[in-house]
Structures are given as structure tokens and as C-alpha cells.
């Protein structure tokens, strides 16, 4: 019973967690991209 209850709660919260993860990923990628932009990105994509 206890296990089923926790599973139901996880299923309810799942979309919330997925949105949170998406937002965090976007923030992390933005920070990483800003840091890397001046060096790696320009050298990689500047040639294309």
C-alpha cells in the first residue's frame, strides 16, 4: 500500500519535475554556451 501511494504521488508530480529539469537544463546550457561562445563555438561553427 505504502509503495503504491508513493508511486501515485510521483506520477502526479512528474510533469512538475520534468518542467523543472527542462528549465534547469536551459539555464545550464545558456551559462555554458555563454562561457564557451567566445572560444569553442566560434572556432567550431565559424568555418561552416
Residue listed under C-alpha cell 561562445: 37
Distance CA 36, CA 18 (A): 26
pLDDT tens string 24-47: 999 988 887 777 666 655 566 655
Confidence of residue 4 (pLDDT cuts 50, 70, 90): confident
Pick from 5-9, 15-19, 43-47: least confident: 43-47
Distance CA 37, CA 48 (A): 15
Residue 22 pLDDT: 93
Residue 14 CB-half CA count within 13 A: 7
| Secondary structure of the chain in HEC code, one letter for each residue | CHHHHHHHHHHHHHHHHHHHHHHHHHHHHHHHHHHHHHHHHHHHHCCC
pTM for the full model?
0.46
Say what percent of the chain tops pLDDT 70.
67
Amino acid at each position: 500500500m505504502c509503495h503504491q501511494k508513493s508511486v501515485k504521488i510521483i506520477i502526479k508530480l512528474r510533469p512538475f519535475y520534468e518542467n523543472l529539469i527542462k528549465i534547469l537544463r536551459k539555464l545550464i546550457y545558456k551559462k555554458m554556451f555563454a562561457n564557451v561562445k567566445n572560444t569553442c563555438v566560434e572556432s567550431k561553427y565559424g568555418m561552416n
